Amino acid sequence: MAFEWRCRVYIEDTDFGGIVYYVNYLKFMERARTEMLRAVGYSQQILKSQGWLFVVHDVQARYLKPSHLDDELIVRSDIELAGAATVIFKQRVVGDAGDARCEGDIRVVCVDEKTLKPRRWPKELLQRLEQLD
């Protein structure tokens, strides 16, 4: 995978049974994508100041195995497909032993900050992300 981000499961991430609540995997993936941008020199604030916003258009998630309180997880992120305004990220959350917990395909669309209409992803940003491979 192109980029890895580690996180730990805290009490706030779990349900009454001490298992990660399903929607929190999406939060882990969101944070990993944000850290992936940061790793290539871009923060959300920098991108917004240049008029670019990124919105999740659709998500397909598959829940494979539960995670529990205090588990250390690794979120692996890669670009599956890069179009003009749309990028599909392939993300996989695994345990320390490499066992898959959740995987998802997340379609992220770049939009203009003022009009909220789709616009091309910044070329330099895409090039830097693709160099992570």
pLDDT for 96-130, tens place per residue?
Answer: 899 999 999 999 999 999 999 999 999 999 999 98
> What pLDDT is recorded for position 130?
87
Q: What's the sign of the alpha-carbon dihedral 48, 50, 51, 52?
A: negative
Q: What value does the mean pLDDT take over residues 70-87?
A: 96
Which of the four pLDDT bands, split at 50, 70 and 90, describes residue 133?
low
> Is residue 1 over pLDDT 80?
no
Selecting among 13, 15, 78, 96, the annotated active-site residue is 15
Q: Are 129 and 36 in contact (CB under 8 A)?
A: yes
Distances (CA, A) of 70 to 35, 85, 131: 21, 38, 33
User: In the annotation, is 15 catalytic?
Assistant: yes
> What pLDDT is recorded for position 118?
97
> Which value, in Å, is the radius of gyration of the alpha carbons in the chain?
15
Question: What domains sit in the chain, N to C, each tagged with a CATH number?
Answer: 3-130 (3.10.129.10)
pLDDT for 23-78, tens place per residue?
Answer: 999 999 999 999 999 999 999 999 999 999 999 999 999 999 999 999 999 999 99
Q: Whole-model pTM?
A: 0.93
- SS3 state at 124: helix
| Cα–Cα distance for residue pair 125/41, rounded to 1 Å | 9
